[in-house]
Amino acid sequence: MVTTDRFAGERLKLSPFYPRQEELNIREAWSSWNGYKFAEYYYDVEYEYFCVRNLCGTYDICPMQKYEIKGPDAEAMLNRMVTRDVGKIGMHRVAYCMWCTDEGRMIDDGTVFRLGPDRFMLTCGSPSIAWLEKSSFGFDDVVVTDITDDMAALSLQGPTSYAVLKKLGLDGIETAKPFDIRVFPYHGSQLMVSRTGFTGDLGYELWVEHDLGLTMWDELYKAGADYGIQPYGEAATNMARLEAAFIMPDMEFNEALKTVHFQHDQTPFELSLGWLVDFRKPHFSGRAALLEEKRRGPTYTLTKLDIEGNRPAEGAHIYSNKRCNREIGYVTSAMWSPVAKANIALAMIRTEHLDGPLWAEIYYEKELRHHSRVVPCEKQSKPFWAPARARATPPPEY
């Protein structure tokens, strides 16, 4: 094909859903993710957020990196790479995993889909093919393929998501428990549905081959018309995930291979994700370092905070007293939670100060005048938002 676009080389890629997204994104609020043109929001951030919490919304996960890992050594290869025991992932089940450097610093997190005895799909936020190539070296019989661009994937999240899938005619979806995978025949191909997501709510992720993407979108929107289906963008996702206390790269963690300064990356224990590290496995990459980290205790601990007042604590420093002369941490993400009616935050706090008082120094602006305020914070042990429907099987209709 002859292109006449003299900037073609510098343009972002378009998702298979782009024709629909383009129409719906009347604010032209585009950003980018992994080379794809990507909606920051479509219409209004709060509107989209409430769609997810009240009805259902779709979130384009085409730019998310997807790798097929196949072959008799696939399980061994993954098991050595990630900190969880891949052998314990049942057939057609998904597990949230992370993988670390030899030093036990987190490279990235993602989900591992077990699609067969010798076949897995790994999804993650950033390109990881170089690490996967390193990880598969030395295994005779495993093939890693980047299938990101071969697939169309859409996340459907919110209380009516189950009803929409029923309406779409996916019989048996009611038996899908969280992290289950179901596969349905679809236009001569397959529609894979996993009960997964990044909102902490009831939700599913839908996976089809690239060329069926638009068909799926249209059919889903048709089925969802009566259930308030709407697209939502990056901004609403970020709100929902924070309420669920999920971590984000560049917010809660730096990818270790992209971290310049010594130990400015994080360990699973620092991120309060020690439960993902399975020391019953005799070996995985970073095990020795992580064992040492567990023994010594992490320097920082990611902590959920409920903060007094309503001013979001974005970028706030955490102190051990109200006079703010002893800094013990910093806020990584913060917002006013509309569902919890709370001023919530995730913060990295020096572990030895976790049990003491926590004060946040918040800077805010009121009609161009800038203020600061020191307020007490309360630690939370549970996510800020964890509705029972997210775990119920079968889920309630809405």
- Which residues of this protein are in contact with another protein, per CB under 8 A? 6-13, 32, 34-35, 76-77, 79-81, 101-103, 126-131, 133-135, 137-139, 146, 255, 257-263, 279-280, 282-283, 285-288, 291
Whether residue 82 contacts residue 162, with contact meaning beta carbons closer than 8 Å, is answered with no
Whether residue 101 contacts residue 257, with contact meaning beta carbons closer than 8 Å, is answered with yes
Name the helix (H) or strand (E) containing 289.
Answer: helix 287-296
Nearest CB to another protein, comparing residues 34 and 215: 34
Spatial separation of the C-alpha atoms in residues 190 and 202, rounded to whole Å: 23
Spatial separation of the C-alpha atoms in residues 286 and 80, rounded to whole Å: 9
Largest CA distance in the chain: 67
Sequence letter at residue 271? L
Look at residues 368, 360, 313 and name the one whose alpha carbon lies nearest to residue 336.
313
Whether residue 121 contacts residue 67, with contact meaning beta carbons closer than 8 Å, is answered with yes
**Shortest distance, position 302 Cβ to another protein, whole Å:** 22
Whether residue 38 contacts residue 22, with contact meaning beta carbons closer than 8 Å, is answered with no
**Shortest distance, position 34 Cβ to another protein, whole Å:** 8
Nearest CB to another protein, comparing residues 80 and 353: 80
Sequence letter at residue 343? N
Sequence letter at residue 347? A
**Shortest distance, position 10 Cβ to another protein, whole Å:** 4
**Shortest distance, position 107 Cβ to another protein, whole Å:** 9
Nearest CB to another protein, comparing residues 275 and 279: 279
**Shortest distance, position 396 Cβ to another protein, whole Å:** 40
Nearest CB to another protein, comparing residues 34 and 54: 34
**Shortest distance, position 105 Cβ to another protein, whole Å:** 10
Nearest CB to another protein, comparing residues 132 and 346: 132
Nearest CB to another protein, comparing residues 5 and 23: 5
Spatial separation of the C-alpha atoms in residues 352 and 390, rounded to whole Å: 34
Nearest CB to another protein, comparing residues 194 and 285: 285
Nearest CB to another protein, comparing residues 68 and 255: 255
**Shortest distance, position 130 Cβ to another protein, whole Å:** 4
Please write down the HEC assignment for all residues of 29-63. Answer: CEEEECCEEEECCCCCHHHHHHHHHHCEEEEECCC
**Shortest distance, position 5 Cβ to another protein, whole Å:** 8
Name the helix (H) or strand (E) containing 107.
Answer: strand 106-116
Angle at 256 between CA 141 and CA 303, to 5 degrees: 120
